[in-house]
Amino acid sequence: MRAWSAPDVPTLPATGPSVRIHDTATGKLVETSPQGTARLYVCGITPYDATHIGHAATYVGFDLLNRAWRVAGHEVDYVQNVTDVDDPLLERATKVGVDWVALAERETELFRQDMQALRVLPPAHYVGAVESIPLVVAMIERLQRLGAIYQVETDLYYSATADPRFGAISRMEREEMLRLFGERGGDPERAGKRDPLDCVVWRGERKGEPAWDSPFGPGRPGWHIECAAIAHEHLGNSFDVQAGGSDLVFPHHEMSAGHGQVATGADFSQLYAHAGMVAYDGEKMSKSRGNLVFVSALRNSDIDPMAIRLALLRHHYRDDWEWTDAELFDALDTLEGWRSALALGAGAPAAPVVEAVTAAMADDLDAPTAVAVVQAWVDATVGTTGLADTSDREAADVVRRLLDASLGLAL
Ligand code: 5CA
Ligand code: ZN
């Protein structure tokens, strides 16, 4: 599928430091070590409703990784999927009486516009589940030959424990896995399974649901094999970072890594990065709960997308936090101050700002620290902290480029 248009990324006077990021599987900060081109997979949307602030926080969060790598001199091969056929999408389409294909296309298009407005760098490969069915079929056949697949009625299941490393990413007790599996699209109660945690990889055709022909009969792909097959096709084995929100740690990332590892024998990804959950009205913002703030609704009420982005950047990507309108209005005020300072041209010395911001971003994408560094430069430049410092004639130009390249804020 088509992604969205890429914004320009200005070059900086110096190359940034190498990037460390928190790895869920080890619970540690790990130095990424891309061999030339960095390879990143971020799980994409299930397009049955508009992009909300929680989605935006996750995609902006990993956009900071993309940018930190580029600032460090790497090219980045970025892949993202679109779960354009799955239970929640089909259920919503039926409920509101629209064609599921039209619903998915409409919401995917809105997502592209939201991402573009927020200056999220587009993936090099933006790939739908439907268009990837041949890849999914090939991966299931490979897993079948390796003895990791069995049949229950017309459905095919993957044995979670076929991967000896099963559990190594989420590191959860079995109780917890069972609970989350049930909550997040799994079917622990299904009769005929060998292990309640086994997940479906091919769902045989049901009346009224779309289906595609395959060597296993008509049906559609399971969710985890979709990402395993797409990541493997476009990024190969042991790519640098598999990312998504923390609600994907289990079962999604555990299972898709398992599929990939059994199929190839190699590590699926080198590390697993997860963003915190954004809440609203006291609960995780989610399509199923309906407590949503849509990016498109804010844009439609003339909110500057850069203020939305700044409001997101003020929270560390790994934290769980709650969205408030007050923080958005505060971000609008802050941007006004930053723009006035940049308009002066000369300002406080920019070189230490470049060093501190790129260092913060390379240290587990510490955007709140980077934002504070910029604020200190603005304060020094306009004299809030004493006499105005306009000793660096090139300062505004350098800081403007830095804000755009590292933080995705074009001012
Ligand atoms: N299509 C699958 C991934 S393959 C999916 O989870 N789609 S989604 O539309 O439900 O979510 C898209 C991304 O947004 C996921 O990375 C998810 O973890 C993240 N996300 C969903 N809700 C929130 C939230 N409230 N806060 C932060 N991130 C969220
Ligand atoms: Zn995924």
pLDDT, tens digit, for every residue of 58-97?
A: 999 999 999 999 999 999 999 999 999 999 999 999 999 9
Instruction: Identify whether 361 is part of a domain.
Output: no
Distance 248 CA to ligand 1 centre (A): 8
| pLDDT above 80 (res 287) | no
3-state secondary structure 380-396: HHHCCCCCCCCCECCHH
| CATH (domain of 193) | 3.40.50.620
Q: For a pocket test of ligand 1, which of 24, 41, 42, 43 has the largest count of ligand atoms closer than 8 A to its C-beta?
A: 43
322-346 pLDDT per residue, tens: 999 999 999 999 999 999 999 999 9
Instruction: Identify whether 137 is part of a domain.
Output: yes
94-131 pLDDT per residue, tens: 999 999 999 999 999 999 999 999 999 999 999 999 99
Instruction: Identify whether 220 is part of a domain.
Output: yes
- Closest atom, ligand 1, to C-alpha of 86: 1
Whose atoms come closest to the Cα of 259: which ligand?
2
8-59 pLDDT per residue, tens: 999 998 899 999 999 999 999 999 999 989 999 999 999 999 999 999 999 9
pLDDT attached to residue 289: 82
Structure tokens at 65: 């990784």
Question: Could you tell me the residue range of the domain that residue 112 belongs to?
Answer: 20-280
Instruction: Identify whether 71 is part of a domain.
Output: yes
- Centre a 10 Å sphere on the Cβ of residue 356 and count the other Cβ atoms it contains: 17
Distance 348 CA to ligand 1 centre (A): 40
153: exposed, middle or buried (C-beta count within 10 Å: 0-12, 13-18, 19+)? Answer: exposed
Instruction: Identify whether 288 is part of a domain.
Output: no
The amino acid occupying position 30 is: V
Number of domains in the chain: 1
Distance 341 CA to ligand 2 centre (A): 42
Instruction: Identify whether 15 is part of a domain.
Output: no
Q: Are 243 and 62 in contact (CB under 8 A)?
A: yes
Report whether residue 277 contacts ligand 1, using a CB cutoff of 6 Å. yes
Structure tokens at 286: 């989610």
Report whether residue 61 contacts ligand 1, using a CB cutoff of 6 Å. no
Torsion sign (Cα): 195, 200, 206, 212: negative
pTM: 0.97
pLDDT attached to residue 286: 83
Alpha-helix runs per DSSP H in 284-324: 295-300, 305-313
Instruction: Identify whether 341 is part of a domain.
Output: no
Report whether residue 70 contacts ligand 1, using a CB cutoff of 6 Å. no
Report whether residue 83 contacts ligand 1, using a CB cutoff of 6 Å. yes
Report whether residue 243 contacts ligand 1, using a CB cutoff of 6 Å. no
Ligand-binding site membership of 58 (annotated): yes
Instruction: Identify whether 7 is part of a domain.
Output: no
d(CA 62, CA 45): 14
